[in-house]
Structure 1
Amino acid sequence: MALPVKSAGSVMSASLRLVAVRNSSSKPKVAVLGASGGIGQPLGLLLKQDPLIAHLSLYDVVNTPGVAADLSHIDSNAKVSAHTGPAELAAAVEGADVIVIPAGVPRKPGMTRDDLFNTNAGIVRDLCQTIAKVAPKALVAIITNPVNSTVPIAVEVFKKAGSYDKRRIFGVTTLDVVRSQAFVSDLKGTDASKTVVPVVGGHAGITIIPLLSQTSPKVSFTQPEIEKLTPRIQDAGTEVVNAKAGAGSATLSMALAGARFANSLLRALKGEKVVQCAYVESEAVKGVNFFSTPLELGPNGVEKILGVGKVTPFEQKLIDASVPELNKNIAKGVKFVSG
């Protein structure tokens, strides 16, 4: 992942104007914040190949020109621009239709996503302070962990700026979906490209809840299979961290997941009906204000929250157990901004 992003507050001024428009659905601009990092570089590579993107704007605190030069040699139609350091952040996001944020520090062996909080919380806060002023209409997809807390941080920043729209801020949980679909197809011998497994809750530990009963095409699981597969999905990030032995966390699979979610937002901007899971402000589950469920996406972001649907008693137990953990994560994020 990218190096920490320094505070943008010192470079923001009263003269920074509010830009309330996006480019267009026909010539969309996508900004990647943290573009030089372990997730940002492969994410940029995948997005450069997306035919829906007209302008790929890359931002980081270091090394952005080199990444941009490299990607600009790829023969696709997306124009690439490089922006380095807080003074160039506003230009990076101005007019953006979609903003993807992988900026932050990665996990190392023995660390939880929550251990990343102090550094990554400040990064997301500072980036969102600029986005809220310069690109308040953008669809913002947050990858930076811990997502359960960084999304509430973003929301609080947008509220303070007076530009919050709950339809437009997402925590990217697509990696949990991708992993679930890969693991289920391995176990059951299904076509991985056609296997769909919704994942609800959050994006850490017990808050990651794969709804195996809703797998499509329909497959059957024994209870022992469910009880073995569920924790593997929940702990899959740690599996990668340990396998990399201190060299980083999930970067390639996360880049794919981020690109897939960004593409879903772009297709929704064009008016296509798209359903994806993501962590958003939601009343889908009683007792918690943020929750990931399948969402119907449209030109303005979340058009409809589809909820968890029909779940098994085992899945309901997991949902119930996730609520207090999510509330703790959410409160930590809110407190970080409100002080």
Structure 2
Amino acid sequence: MSAALVGTIAVIVLAMGFNYTNGFHDAANAIATSVSTRALTPRIALGVAAVGNLVGSFLGVKVAATVGKGVIAHATLPVVGAGLVGAITWNLVTWYFGIPSSSSQALIGGLVGAALAGGVTVLWAGIWEKIIKPMLVSPLVGFALGFLVMLAVYWIFRRGHPGKLNRGFRIAQTLSAAGMSIGHGMQDAAKTMGIVVLALVAGGYHGEHDKNIPLWVFFLTAAVLAAGTYSGGWRIIKTLGRKVIDLGPAQGFAAETAATTVLFVSAQYGLPISTTHTITSAIMGVGATKRLSAVRWGVAGNIIIAWVLTFPAAAAVAALSYFVYSRFA
């Protein structure tokens, strides 16, 4: 077995490790509101999320292309591997403390940090236009859309019976949670597929200008993400579902609907945004329709601090990982 093949397999295994942590780390994105409002039981919600991620992975080819070709140029296997180590480390740290940080941001940060340490060209213009700008704008859009959807729900159902409305919105949340899960697959599964293709190109097993992603990459990535999702992420589910605001079925439906819309639209343009940023900001927007004090801004502030730290922290760990590798390779 050649060294290139061994290295390629090792990086793909790391990519699947990141994919698995992404699954249990970001499972909360799709199901926290449904679980907290008791629209779905935890295990059923996780099953819905796993199936949705599987379906969504086949719809996110444009996002995969952006991650695979728009972050760094002429990647090497050690650089890709070190980038994944940085992303995995940050995912585990934030999961342990129950902080809903962005796996996507950690992945991009890890790749950039490893590339800088390894002397590989970083495509800053592409990162700014297709990654950083959408990641900055998407939470604002999520907040505004969550606010507007919740206002619309209040107005349309202003004369409805509360008990009947709650039952109806619990049923509706099954659909909105499924949509959120598909959107998560379109974004997060696609990002991992882009990394696998990047590793295949670096190892010489895929053409640099070949636009077709091997079919086995779809199935492997989706299956591992689904397994990670089904294993759950209860610490983060508790933070998103109960600590930011007190969600009812109508609020949960509005937040999921707003976030799903943002995820679907961005995926159609190949923009890799954070599902975590999007659903969290949508929940805040929904909460703000009651009154600004309904949102626990202290918890929200801690989440925002984690967002700010994610990119540099993952980049630093990735750079250190590359440095260690280069000394012992």
Q: What TM-score, normalized by structure 1, do the two folds share?
A: 0.30
Q: What TM-score, normalized by structure 2, do the two folds share?
A: 0.31
Higher relative strand content? 1
Considering Cα pairs closer than 8 Å and 6+ residues apart, tell me whether 1 or 2 has the greater RCO.
Answer: 2
Higher relative helix content? 2
